[in-house]
Structure 1
Amino acid sequence: MDVDTRLLRSFAVVADEGHLTRAAERLFISQPALTKQIKQLEALLGVTLFTRSRTGMTLTEAGTALAGSVPAVLDSWDVALRTAKSAAGRADRVLRVGFVASGANELTQRIIAAFARRRPGWRVQLHQTSWDDPTAGLASGDADAALLRLPFPGEEALDIEVLITEDRWVALPAGHRLAGQEVIPFADLFEEPFVATPEASGWWRDYWLASDERGGHPVTVGAVAHNPDEWLNAIANGYGVSLTPQATARFYQRPDVVYRPVSGVSPSRVGVARPRTPDVPAAVRDFVRSCLELRPVPETGEPPVPDPGGCREPDPSRLGPSPQASRARAPSSSVMRSGATARE
């Protein structure tokens, strides 16, 4: 019998969480889609894996037996897949780097140049993902490393180094009543509808709605967007406003959208991430070192100037795991109007 590993992965997360909604958030899929996957797996195996109740999902005897074996199976498959893809990349001298939105901002090109100095003949293959996958391909094994906007669901399974800290601004329609202000207090935005990332992006969605910084004020979602183009169009059409990194004002300029600084909301961070494995490929280590080589100096905010030879070694201690970020969430898929609150 052949069973899709995707079904086993979904089963393992539901078994771990004991709750469909939380499991769906971790998997970046909708709850109905997850329910369908569990039923499909039960039909394939011919057994009932969970008893369902209003309080959650409880493993049956058959489910408990399967839950004891599945993690090892998935771990072995992930290692095999990652090893095969990484070997193919090494053979072609290609490093796959995922990123979301603008990556590490203007630092991205300098990082690639620094990596090229360390690894002559190698090429960085950049791959931009939609907001449905805040890990930019790391979770699926489609990326060797990634430049990511922190925090995001699943970061505890990765090694991350923070590269940039920048303020969160707000994007508004050009004709918005607050567009003329130089700085907008976050409290002035509490009653505004917001453009959000998909619900499947989990608590990354909540982070960009600043749900934990509203003092109990509910969030109204006016539209959902999967990528920057959908997001910009929703804002320009007046469906909502949105918090965004300061760099967005430089990378996504449009005459019908304005960006303003926001006071009273915490900043955002960009980090370089890689899978947490004991056998990190040398090319991935060199990419991380290239990122750290150009990490802005805290006092000035400016990147250091590389040595003429190009490859100054950073402090090795900076290559270890970074502290985990505070929990948060993000905005949604193809643009749809909605009057519902984000908690619904």
Structure 2
Amino acid sequence: MPGTIPEVDLEAWRKASGADRAPVAAELDAALRSTGMFLVSGHGVPQAVINDFRATAKRFFALRKEVKAQYAIEAAYDGGWLEMHPPGGVGVPVREGEEAPSAPDLHESFYVGPGLRTGDEQRDRFNYPANRWPVELPELRAAADAYTTHMLRVVQAVNEVLAVTLGLPEDFFTSRARMATWTQNASWYPSYSSIGEVARGQFRNGPHTDLGTVTLLSRQRGVGGLQAWNKADGWFSPPYRPDLLVVNLGDLMELWTDGRWRALKHRVLPPSPVAPDEELLSLVFFFETDPDTLIEPLAAPVGGGRGLSPAYARRTVLEKLGVTPDSFLGV
């Protein structure tokens, strides 16, 4: 079957012996080498929490444009509202020779982050920008906080699975993510009928890879939905169940494993006249690591042997967003 994507039951993994984990890890490793994606069940995120955040975010996107514009992001790393923006995300390159789309992506997003404070105002500006909560919809903050509390728990469990799969200490990644940078994104994909026309080469979200270590995605099934890519199969639609979370590997994890694992190339198809009233809303949790972490590619045989150069985590992300923060971050 093309594009086979494994499922990892986090609760079963937690209880399993090393012998029982071995075949799961082998299947996971193969998928991450070829594609960079897997699915997780047993994550313990209540469906009511997911539904509440999705419904509340949709109410935000339904606000008048002039209201949402009060919360427009002011920099690539900022929090707040982002109107339909250029293909592939801000500063994210298309991979494997993929031709870049020529028209803006067809979605809006609202971004929140950890909002941590270290006492260094300049560093916090780049690492932990302040969140911007709409006063017109105060319940959005409560819904987002409830959801991201679960995402922080789940991503640590995922990081433990990844470390064990590599044959590393279980806390290899989690010990480097005590003050991690992350972004929670709610992305709304409007319907074909509301847009009126889709330009050639236009997507809801153009082909790209994510910038961090791992991404946790709660998605909705749709005609104009998510597609993943690998060399063997090309573009394909991954399996869907409403109770599953999707895990995408990002650029930082490809670097960390020295190319053993690949950052997932993916896209969201354009809205289709076949389903003219279809709207989708994805909840996307982009996780990185502690901002000052020096990511040193793992040596073979654990690493992939590509000879990639070490890089500081947050600086690498910001540079891909077109930011040069050396004078602020000091790394």
Normalised by the length of structure 2, the TM-score is 0.25
**How does the TM-score come out when normalised to structure 1?**
0.24
